[in-house]
Amino acid sequence: MVAFAGTAQEKVIRSPVVSTEKLEYVENFPDFQRKTNTEKTSVYSYIVSTILTTSEPINQYIQMWIEKEINQFIHDVEKNNPNDTEQHPAQLHISVEIYGVTDEIYSLIFTVKNKETNRQDVMKIFNLDLLNHKILSLTDIFNLDHANVEGFRSIVKEQMSVQDENSLKEWLEKSLKQPNQLNWQIDQTSFHLLSDAPENHILVEIPVEKLSPYLTNDIMNRLQIHFTDDPANSLHPDGKYIALTFDDGPSPSVTPQILETLKQYSAKATFFMVGSRVLSYPELALQVAGEGHEIGNHTGNHSNLSKLSEEQIRQEIIGSSQVIESIIGESPTFFRPPYGVYNPSVEKVALEHNSPIILWSVDSLDWKNRKAENVHQLVKENIAPGAIVLLHDIHQSTADALPILMAELSNEGYQFVTVSELLSLQGISGIGPYYGVSY
């Protein structure tokens, strides 16, 4: 016999509990089992289904959530008038559907329905990572640090505004303050945000390409999300493209930070490397090239070429190019003279070596203003489609400014390409020099 507290502290004796448990394999998911528990008394009954996966930690986590739902349901029953519950027994029904994303990632979609209680029906989604035995959170899917969260919100709001429903916008504002409380799903093509109401639950559907700047590398690899391998083939003549360029590296302290930020935005840049630094940090130079960035030549020792003889210029340019090629396996694409200084002798050697001279239209002055906010502000004030931006991957302030800068430029519709892609789009060829487009 089970005793529950009734109104006015009254003790009410219930009928004996009748309970069953059933296990069955899940159709199309042979590694999983569906477990269904039922329980019935004179005042309530429930039917609760869950999925038993191959990960015990995940099973335990979901079971804790189910037990919480059952305990809340019974607590609600206890608060009701015992005569009411005898005449209208409360009912709880928890059902579950499974959705396979990959061999390691699945979504379990639970629907919780209550009858004769004051609780509303709800939906709850668990996104499972069986490889790492964990429930995925939004921060496993997206890089939602301070620099990125506003951009993420902006894209979601923009997609939601198409539906033009004020209630949904209010829901979004509230929900994004606690992103890990959201119901969501992701697959190779789309990201869905869902409400906790079982009916009309899809609120936002966003193509993953729109969210690519914020996707973690891990989830892109595991979902096998691939965007075009050759961005130049998909560049639109009217697009807002800019080329980020980094001089004077590689630097063991700063270049890896730059690479990580570029990776978060699936962006490619052009690195004008100094030959002597490539010799000092060959593995880092190889990493930059290996991650798909364009490598340019910035001379062997960062000398002012206007003060050198033609032969010395030739040694600086060609010698550096040979060093870079020996490390990364290919000759650098372009040449940028240190300080942007060149003369007819420099042009002659560049022509001999078929090395187009690349300068810039936006100078971040990061070499002068060693504050991230100054770097960020100066670029934002002077940027324009078709610009070539001068930065340096040897200053910490540049690494600090880049995440915020790229987030804001992305929100404004800018896309980041290499110098060769930018020149190809503009139909430019030859030795140059080329500056890019000014504001």
Point out the residues that are catalytic: 247, 392
* Percent of residues in the chain assigned helix, strand, coil, to nearest 5: 40, 25, 35
d(CA 335, CA 314): 12
336 backbone dihedrals φ, ψ, rounded to 5°:
-125, 120
Return the structure tokens found at 194: 């869902």
Instruction: For residue 420, give every residue at least 6 positions away whose Cβ sits within 8 Å of its Cβ, in sequence order, or none.
Output: 232, 270, 294, 333, 334
Instruction: For residue 33, give every residue at least 6 positions away whose Cβ sits within 8 Å of its Cβ, in sequence order, or none.
Output: 23, 24, 25, 26, 51, 52
CA distances from 336 to 12, 368, 369, 394 (A): 87, 19, 21, 16
Local structure of residue 216 (DSSP, 8 states)? -
Give yes or no for a contact between 81 and 7, defined as CB atoms under 8 angstroms apart: yes
Neighbours of 75 (CB within 10 A): 11
Give yes or no for a contact between 191 and 185, defined as CB atoms under 8 angstroms apart: yes
**Three-state secondary structure readout of 236-273:** CCCCCEEEEEEECCCCCCCHHHHHHHHHHCCCCCEEEE
Q: Are strands 202-207 and 241-247 parallel, antiparallel or unpaired?
A: unpaired
Q: Are strands 122-129 and 134-135 parallel, antiparallel or unpaired?
A: antiparallel
Return the structure tokens found at 141: 């899917």
Give yes or no for a contact between 377 and 405, defined as CB atoms under 8 angstroms apart: no
d(CA 169, CA 193): 12
Give yes or no for a contact between 390 and 245, defined as CB atoms under 8 angstroms apart: yes
Strand ranges for 304-432 from DSSP E: 362-363, 388-392, 415-417
Burial of 259 (0-12, 13-18, 19+ CB in 10 A): buried
Give yes or no for a contact between 89 and 43, defined as CB atoms under 8 angstroms apart: yes
